[in-house]
Chain A
Amino acid sequence: MGSQQHQSLYDILEVPRDAAQEDIHKAFMRAKHTYSPDSPALYSVFTKEEADELLRLIEEAYAILGNPRKRKEYDDGIDRKSNVVTPGHLSLVSEGTQAPPSNAKPAPVKDKVGRSGYSRYEIDDSLEKEIETKEVFDGAFLQRIRTYKNISIDQVTKATRIGRHYLIAVEANDFRSLPAPVFVRGFIVQIAKMLNLPEKRVADSFMKLLKESTQK
């Protein structure tokens, strides 16, 4: 499947270079449906793993092409180089998920196991205390909590239906890549719920950061 990565993002979504944003969105929805686990069209050609891999490529392609600003950057990049963008470019988008948890220090003798409803994790008292008293919840801290609680981005996507690219943008504090504030607030509330955090406090804090960033 390595050869899939030599396609341009437009090829992956099967849209022309000058496609309208709406068409890109439609193509994305269609492709997601094609590679969904129970899609009849996959029967006898792609395994589940291959379909998941393709789905990942498609989501990463949409993370860039679905965002007008990133799309323009990408287009400029293509015009400068050849038509093919290597996967290294794409992996910048998902860097966040590959970062090791920052609190991977071995916890002092602890038998306490926390449960999040999606995972089990070892309780870190100091971090739990930090969470309790925390005032400012930015994307990076949310990511820290998520990895601490052993919840993957995939799990969050599946449970909340929030697009992977938006989750990554939230954790990267990439406010400009997020949709309208009313949606973002909804995202944060759902994420906070999943992470067993106080929803209002987290959402208020994050939205304040978002607002401040747009005013700069």
Chain B
Amino acid sequence: MSLVSSATRIQQKPLPAGGYVLWAFGGGKGGIGKSFLTTNIAVCVAQIGYTVTLVDLDLTGANLHTCIGNDIPKLGLSDFLQGKTANLKDLTTDSKINRLSLVGGVNDSFVPSQITPENKQLLKDQLRGLPSQFVFLDLGAGASDLNAEFFTFADQSVLITTPEPTSIENSYQFIRTAFHRVLKQVELATNSRALFNGAMENRLAYGIRTPQDLVRYIMRTDADVGARLKADLDRFKLKLILNQVRTKTDIEIGYAIKTVCRQYFGMNMDFMGFLDFDNAAWQSARKKQPLVLAFPFSHLSGNLFNIAKSLVDPRQNSAIL
């Protein structure tokens, strides 16, 4: 029985052509504002007129229901991943916010290593089958394999970071994990393990210092594998949001990370925008309300809406703010 009321389906805008459906929000460090941003951007997108389902994939502890002021879900992803239910629609609950629904996360001592490949595949298929126009995955903190898997699986991958060196360091670690995941997929698909292993073992001799060097080496050495690798990396739509900005010079860090990402990883990254550190953030969290609803006229609300708009319509490619 679907708990998503049909009322949420009314008055939904048609998707913009080329718009993306499944987004993942991740980041290397805890406390940088992933859940905050996932929730608020989801609310913005819902208010613009699209149906959105939030999915809480943080295996260290579910929080999304708290962010939107829902009760603690009776059924969550832990039930799904343990095989107690095979249908994500059973886990979807409404929220007080029009067009926004939630798939609750794990809330007991559920150990991630228990997730089988079959369950993961089932989850992926089910995510694609959800009825909403947009599905937002909130990943947990850290560069785990699971996070990398779902981060690269999504149509659009949003990386959240703050200007602190610790956060930046963890962000690069996160990208590294995602990059390796793409590499591994290509290696498996093209059966070219020897090629990749050989490259890594002799990397000093081949002048391979950065991930981009590795990509270039592969492209030079084996045209087919190289083409596949390049195509898969290009298909990976990486976006960056810089959160908790304190000073004007912090803003440049977003552009700098984008440049470094290209030079070091050879991956394109869009810098979507920055958000100032704002007390309204923790104040709305205490109220268990999204900021854009608790403080709709705040500076941050405007910024969040702008980011949501340009994420929704890829044709609006301007970096905002």
Label chain A's interface by main secondary structure: helix
Contact B256 A43 (CB under 8 A): no
B248 → chain A closest CB, angstroms: 12
* Residue of B217, B256, B262 most packed against chain A (CB within 10 A): B256
Contact B212 A34 (CB under 8 A): no
Contact B172 A45 (CB under 8 A): yes
Given A40-B256, A54-B263, output 9 extra A-B contacts at Cβ < 8 Å: A1-B213, A3-B212, A3-B213, A30-B255, A33-B255, A34-B259, A41-B260, A44-B169, A46-B260
Q: Does any Cβ of B come within 8 Å of A4's Cβ?
A: yes
A12-50 residues at the B interface, CB under 8 angstroms: 14, 30-31, 33-34, 39-46, 50
Contacting residues, chain A, for B257 (C-beta < 8 A): 41
Contacting residues, chain B, for A45 (C-beta < 8 A): 172, 210, 260, 264
A3 to B211, CA, bound (A): 11
Contacting residues, chain B, for A106 (C-beta < 8 A): none
Q: Does any Cβ of B come within 8 Å of A88's Cβ?
A: no
A3 to B218, CA, bound (A): 12
A110 to B255, CA, bound (A): 53
B206-237 residues at the A interface, CB under 8 angstroms: 207, 209-210, 212-213, 216-217
Which A residues lie at the B interface, using CB under 8 A? 1-4, 6, 14, 30-31, 33-34, 39-46, 50, 54
Contact A41 B253 (CB under 8 A): yes
Q: List 28 A-B contacts (CB under 8 A).
A: A1-B213, A2-B207, A3-B212, A3-B213, A3-B216, A3-B217, A6-B216, A14-B259, A30-B256, A30-B259, A33-B255, A33-B256, A34-B255, A34-B259, A34-B260, A39-B256, A40-B163, A40-B164, A40-B168, A40-B253, A40-B256, A41-B168, A41-B256, A42-B256, A42-B260, A43-B169, A44-B168, A44-B172
A2 to B168, CA, bound (A): 26
Which B residues lie at the A interface, using CB under 8 A? 163-165, 168-169, 172-173, 207, 209-210, 212-213, 216-217, 252-253, 255-257, 259-260, 262-264
Contact B255 A43 (CB under 8 A): no
Question: In the complex, what residue of chain B is closest to A42 when comparing beta carbons?
Answer: B260
Contacts A41-B260, A43-B168, A46-B264 given; indicate if A30 touches B212 (C-beta within 8 A). no
Contact A3 B263 (CB under 8 A): no
Contacting residues, chain A, for B216 (C-beta < 8 A): 3, 6
The 5 closest A-B pairs by CB, nearest first: A41-B256, A34-B256, A44-B169, A34-B259, A3-B216
Question: In the complex, what residue of chain A is closest to B249 when comparing beta carbons?
Answer: A33
A66 → chain B closest CB, angstroms: 18
Contacting residues, chain B, for A40 (C-beta < 8 A): 163-165, 168, 253, 256
Contacting residues, chain A, for B210 (C-beta < 8 A): 1, 45
* Residue of A31, A34, A50, A54 most packed against chain B (CB within 10 A): A34
A74 to B240, CA, bound (A): 33
A44 to B217, CA, bound (A): 23
Q: Which of A3, A6, A33 contacts B252 (CB 8 A)?
A: A33
Contacting residues, chain B, for A6 (C-beta < 8 A): 216
Question: In the complex, what residue of chain B is closest to A34 when comparing beta carbons?
Answer: B256
